[in-house]
Amino acid sequence: MSIKAPRKGENYELSVDLNSEYREKRKDAIKRVIASMTVDVSGLFPDVLKNMQTDDLEQKKLVYLYLMNYAKTQPELVILAVNTFVKDSDDPNPLVRALAIRTMGVLRAEKIIDYLCDPLQKCLRDENPYVRKTAALCVAKLYDLKPELVIDNGFLEQLHEMIADSNPMVVANTVAALTDIHIAASSQPSISPNDPALFPISSSILTKLLIALNECSEWGRVAILNALARYVAKDDKESEHICERVVPQFQHVNGSVVLAAVKVIMIHMRGVRREDLIKQLVRKMAPPLVTLLSSPPEVQWVALRNINLLLQKRPDILSNEMRVFFCKYNDPLYVKVEKLDIMVRLAGENNVDALLSELKEYASEVDVDFVRKSIKAIGQTAIKIDAAAERCVHVLLDLIDTRVSYVVQEAVVVMKDIFRKYPSTYEGIIPTLCANLDELDEPEAKASLIWIIGEYANKIDNADELLGIFVDTFTEESYPVQLQTLTAVVKLFLKKPDSSQGIVQRILNTATKDCDSPDVRDRAYIYWRLLSTDPGAAKAVVLAQRPPISIPRTTVAPALLEELLGEVSSLASVYHKPEETFVGKGRVGAESLQRKTDAPDDRFSTQKALQTVAAGQQAENLLDFDDAPAVEGRPSGLAATEVLSHTPAAANLLAGTSSNPLDDLVSIFGAPATPAPPSANSHDIFGGLGVNSAFSSGGTGSLGSPAVQSPSVAVPPLQKNQQPEDDLLGLF
Amino acid sequence: MISAFFIFNQKGEVLISRLYRTDFKRSIADVFRIQVVSNPDVRSPLITLGSTSFFHVRVNNLYVVAVTKTNANAALVFEFCYRFINICKSYFGKMDEESIKNNFVVVYELVDEINDFGYPQNSEIDTLKTYITTESVVSATQAPEVSSRITAQATGATSWRRSGDDVKYKKNEAFVDVVEVVNWMGSAKGTTLRADVDGHIQMRAYLSGTPECKFGLNDKLVIDRGAVGTSGPSSGLADRGGGDAVELDDCQFHQCVRLNDFDADRSISFIPPDGEFELMRYRATSNIKLPLKVIPTVTEIGTTKVSYDITLKTTFSPKLSATNVVVRIPTPLNTTDVDVGILGTGKAKYVPAENVIVWKIARLQGGQECSLSAMAQLTSTTTRQVWARPPIDVDFQVLMFTASGLIVRFLKVFEKSNYHSIKWVRYLTKANGGYQVRF
């Protein structure tokens, strides 16, 4: 009690009131203390503590609330509260008993813990379920503080017994507590598979959980469903049984229960062999998923991200439901973008007309981002459905007619992909595109148009004239445009050698002498040497047949997809990234990432994982929220990324910008073998909105021949400057 | 699981801060303020920095924020935030900075009660109100025996209802309100792009004891099933004209409804909470009867004028009427003035601040028709900017009408004392910002 507040100021007044002889005045003072908890009122600790012993439940709650917040700052004084706590845990009023045990668990003062065990022991066996359910969670709190106390006191065994409790809420909280302990224990590096803290779901537990599932509260259902998801079924009969028991939960009003049920079904459906049952389950899953679209936007968004995953696994799940994904005018952008993506996934010959008229409508909205994405979606539809390509092209031409700058530019970019997919089909529209040449001011649009001109140079009479415009301003253009101009002019020369000798000389000269990008320079040299030594070889390289492009059916690798579907509704499923990439704690090792590379084409997921881990580590270093000492045993492989924590990359990350130089770095060492997904350029750690760009511009990313680089693969010069780090990352 | 829970005001000041677990310091709130509140570019409700994820929901200038370090269940966290908002609304009548500041003690109590160690706990509003009280929410004295009853209710198999003998009414009554929100998106040509109904059935049960209720709708699947005995499922409906059954795409129920029963034979049986609750929500998309037809003709005359011709028609029976009809007709951003003329009923005026013509009709009888014609004058602009043409939006209410055709067939109440109960059913269809036509 040696701490004396200064004799003036608000704290002093409070302290006087807290010691007042009038009960009401004291209570009022406690309320005021709590109101000012956003500033430091820890100095009032002894005064508040004096008010702990009271019959007034509300006042008791207030004092407890204060204690929870400040016990840590006054560890030596907390001991004074122990007596009251122990007494309260024996109070005839169950609310008081529960309150005492709940509060003791979160005080986190060493001195009080030893006094916690006896009351906890008693409360776990309390006759009142409210006290028992509170005590169950208290065991998890204790494990978080001092695991050995939990094990020594046999609390774990007691929890295991409580799974059979008659009260469903107690069962749910017990399951939550055991799962919490399980997760904490399994994150320890040296855990034996027989550790008592682990919580394997046995078949006898399964039976109990299935019974409790139908009776407990919504949140309890989620906890139980999560536990069911971890159960490994013995045979297909058991899988069927679980699915049948869980399916009714689809009708729950709480969206998280519905998604948790979807998760359990998706996991246990793997074990079901009866085709008719699988069909039935999938059919029953569709309506609740659609209903989630009438939830608040945030829940909707989580649902949409998960529907996106589900569709990658089972494309037929919502085949007749495209219309429900039509965007509403006042949907938030993040919802609209996801809906667009899903609409394209659901597009087929039967509904493409409705889709196109929708997309055209979106293209006239105000939000530039959304408009662009809608136009991209038109391009994807054209590439996905051959029969609809022509209609898509007509829509794009209509949009170009609006002459709105960003609409035209995006439409040109999209047209390039359509030309890639359907070569020599829509040459008739090239004049229209060229007529808009002056409108273009964005590099990607310019580069796309230049690519088209180069590709059809032999059919465009004034190709040399058009390309000449870009050659004249060559040094002022951005690098992607320069690269494209260079390639297009060489193509022109190979197709019309007589008329374009001059222009090719000019550009090769400029590119090798006046250009400051090593990429552009190198490419120019290669062309020059090819042309001078063996024009035939040049033709074979530059005019080579390119592999056809298509829209990938999945945006994540199959192994990762399976893992994410096992985590439906979690953050991982929202981000479409494995958990290890954003739940750091320093236990992310190269091994845990390698685990996912068992499928041959898992390179993408590994890359993405690497990017995020790298980014995540940096952010953590800089923000350093944690008061715990720095994580021990940071895996050696990641040490390389630590070097970078002072680079602009980290600054960018914090500032919320999306261009993270590291992403480019990581993406390039995958590039020679398989071109990196363009998402590497616009990797967006925040909303996860950018995660899907691998899909959205997948068409441009899959260029095979290194000679015909598409603009979106062209990498900014930054990577050259950071070549040393690239080597470091190569350790992986 | 949720590690920390905050409420921020618009300026990013912390109003409420509660750490459920120990993996964060209070200063984590500053990170959110810097990264989200003061960053206008953030459009996603979920942000992960390093291994810390911030979930936020905005409501009336407040940010309700949950923070976690794990691979948390995102749907659960958002649902929890919305539940918290609903609880606050129910306790304080509204949720804004003022109500939080005035009631912070209760808010802290609530925040503590509905979540323990990051795991959401019982958050049924009616139950909470029995033991977390304010001046406006008063409950019985807190004697131990009362508390035992409360705790039994908060954890029991029927956590939503007080035990049998506690509930007594002189007159046993149940009110059922079927409320349908009809969403419609019409194209300029008058075709329907999408039409669906989000319905919910609100019930106020003033029934003594522990009543066992059975609830019946003209659910197509149930009626078909009934007909299966005599004829095939496909012919069953056709025989009886078909029009009286409604196809529900999906139903969701209050936790009192036995989902297993519904899954087995689509029967809706439950022990209702005492007082008002939402019994079920449903969604229907087939055979939607649109109560209002909107026929817009909008022509841009040169670059200086836009002419509007909007006709409204009601399609339901003349015995019913639509009330509170509000039509919002967007005008271009560079509109200077609008001349409006109305044929039929209602009042219309141009609201320059929102760039719309608002046309209000207090009552529109079934089978009636009225129209509005207007001419908007535009200033000439130098920039060639296209007008986004947001859709025309219509809000209205129609009593005793359901757009889906849903009808309550029966509500049976069984109680051991076998009392007589009176049931009331009302229907309401309304449009709520989702009844739109493009032009």
Closest CA in chain B for residue A619: B50
Contact check, Cβ <8 Å, A361/B438? yes
User: Is the Cβ–Cβ distance between A631 and A585 less than 8 Å?
Assistant: yes
Looking at the structure of chain A, the number of domains it has is 2
- Is residue A245 in some structural domain? yes
> Confidence class of residue A73 from pLDDT cuts 50, 70 and 90?
confident
Tell me, letter by letter, the H, E, C secondary structure of A622-651. Answer: HHCCCCCCCCCCCCHHHHHHHHHHHCHHHH
Contact check, Cβ <8 Å, B386/A93? no
In the predicted structure, residue A247 carries a pLDDT above the cut 50: yes
Task: Give residue-wise pLDDT tens across range B258-311.
Answer: 888 888 888 899 988 888 888 999 999 888 999 999 999 998 888 888 999 999
**What is the rounded distance in angstroms from the CA atom of residue A67 to the CA atom of residue A56?**
17
Write down the pTM of the prediction. 0.79
* B71, B78, B391: residue with CB nearest A302: B78
To the nearest whole angstrom, how far is the Cα of A185 from the nearest Cα of chain B?
Answer: 14
Determine the average pLDDT of the residues in A342-347.
93
B138 touches chain A (CB under 8 A): no
Give backbone dihedrals phi and psi of A378, rounded to 5 degrees, phi first. -60, -45
- Looking from the CA of B148 toward its CB, the CA atoms found within 13 Å total 8
> Confidence class of residue B384 from pLDDT cuts 50, 70 and 90?
low
- DSSP H helical segments within A89-235, as ranges? 94-107, 110-124, 129-145, 147-152, 155-162, 168-186, 203-213, 218-230
The CATH number of residue A56's host domain is 1.25.10.10
**What is the rounded distance in angstroms from the CA atom of residue A120 to the CA atom of residue A105?**
9
A223 CB neighbours in chain B (<8 A) are 119
B33 CB neighbours in chain A (<8 A) are none
B116 touches chain A (CB under 8 A): yes
**What is the rounded distance in angstroms from the CA atom of residue B83 to the CA atom of residue B79?**
6
> Confidence class of residue B252 from pLDDT cuts 50, 70 and 90?
confident
Best to test chain B binding among A68, A130, A307, A403 (most B CBs inside 10 Å): A130
**What is the rounded distance in angstroms from the CA atom of residue A230 to the CA atom of residue B124?**
28
> Confidence class of residue A723 from pLDDT cuts 50, 70 and 90?
very low
- Is residue A30 in some structural domain? yes
Determine the pLDDT at residue A646.
39
Cα distance from N-terminal residue to C-terminal residue, chain A: 58
Task: Give residue-wise pLDDT tens across range A162-191.
Answer: 999 888 889 999 999 999 999 988 888 777
Determine the pLDDT at residue B179.
94
A115 touches chain B (CB under 8 A): no
A65 touches chain B (CB under 8 A): yes
Write the CB contacts of A388 (distance below 8 Å, at least 6 apart in sequence): A347, A349, A352, A356, A381, A382
Parent domain of A121: 10-285
* B57, B119, B251: residue with CB nearest A219: B119
Contact check, Cβ <8 Å, A354/B193? yes
Helices and strands: H and E segment counts in chain B: 9, 24
Domain boundary among A543, A576, A605: A543
CB < 8 Å from B in window 207-226 of A: 214-215, 217-219, 222-223, 226
DSSP for B148-186 reads HHHHHHHHSTTTTS--GGG---SS-EEEEEEEEEEEEEE
CA A686 to chain CA centroid, Å, is: 8
Contact check, Cβ <8 Å, B151/A403? no
Strands (DSSP E) along A24-66, which ranges?
Answer: none
- Is residue A347 in some structural domain? no
Task: Give residue-wise pLDDT tens across range A212-238.
Answer: 898 888 899 999 999 999 999 999 999
A641 touches chain B (CB under 8 A): no
DSSP for A448-510 reads HHHHHHHHTTTT-TTHHHHHHHHHHTGGGS-HHHHHHHHHHHHHHHHH-TTT-HHHHHHHHHH
Determine the pLDDT at residue A115.
86
- Is residue A551 in some structural domain? no
* B42, B255, B388: residue with CB nearest A366: B388
Tokens found for residue A624: 């350093």
- Looking from the CA of A455 toward its CB, the CA atoms found within 13 Å total 28
- Is residue A549 in some structural domain? no
Determine the average pLDDT of the residues in B392-417.
91
Among B312, B325, B313, B433, which residue's Cα sits nearest to residue B373?
Answer: B312
Closest CA in chain A for residue B77: A256
Cα distance from N-terminal residue to C-terminal residue, chain B: 47
To the nearest whole angstrom, how far is the Cα of B282 from the nearest Cα of chain A?
Answer: 8
CB < 8 Å from A in window 377-406 of B: 384, 386, 388-391
Among B49, B73, B54, B53, which residue's Cα sits nearest to residue B64?
Answer: B54
B12 touches chain A (CB under 8 A): no
Domain boundary among A285, A306, A327: A285
User: Is the Cβ–Cβ distance between B63 and A239 less than 8 Å?
Assistant: no
Among B360, B192, B374, which residue's Cα sits nearest to residue B286?
Answer: B192
Contact check, Cβ <8 Å, B14/A38? yes
Q: How many CB pairs under 8 A join A and B?
A: 292
- Is residue A456 in some structural domain? yes
**What is the rounded distance in angstroms from the CA atom of residue B161 to the CA atom of residue B349?**
50
- Is residue A220 in some structural domain? yes
Among B16, B118, B121, which residue's Cα sits nearest to residue B67?
Answer: B118
Domain boundary among A216, A251, A285: A285
A408 touches chain B (CB under 8 A): no
- Is residue A450 in some structural domain? yes
